[in-house]
Amino acid sequence: MIRPEHEVKFYQLLGGGLKDAGWNRESMPKNRLAVIPDMTHYEAFASTRVAETVLPFLNGQSGVSGAEHVKGKGPKK
């Protein structure tokens, strides 16, 4: 089992979470950590939720631009 504190440390070693991303995401690191609620690592391989979560990131799409995430508009579809 991978403990959450190890996941966070690994994420930090990749440059994530060490500074604020900035209002317009100008300092957002290229590495991201995804936490998928209500899912165990046993279920992850049998679910489409993991792919739905990571494919936009892998395709270079962040889903929101600028401060839209603060306004509550959520990802563009």
Query: pLDDT tens, 48-66?
Result: 998 888 888 888 886 555 4
**Contact assessment for residue 15 and residue 29, using Cβ atoms and an 8 Å cutoff:** yes
The pLDDT value given to residue 30: 75
Q: How far apart are CA 7 and CA 68, in angstroms?
A: 28
The verdict on pTM exceeding 0.75 is no
46-51's contacts with Cβ under 8 Å and 24+ in sequence apart are: none
Q: How far apart are CA 27 and CA 47, in angstroms?
A: 32
Segments of the chain scoring below 70 in pLDDT: 62-77
Q: How far apart are CA 63 and CA 56, in angstroms?
A: 7
Q: What is the mean pLDDT of the chain?
A: 75
Domain edges within the chain: 4-71
Q: How far apart are CA 15 and CA 50, in angstroms?
A: 22
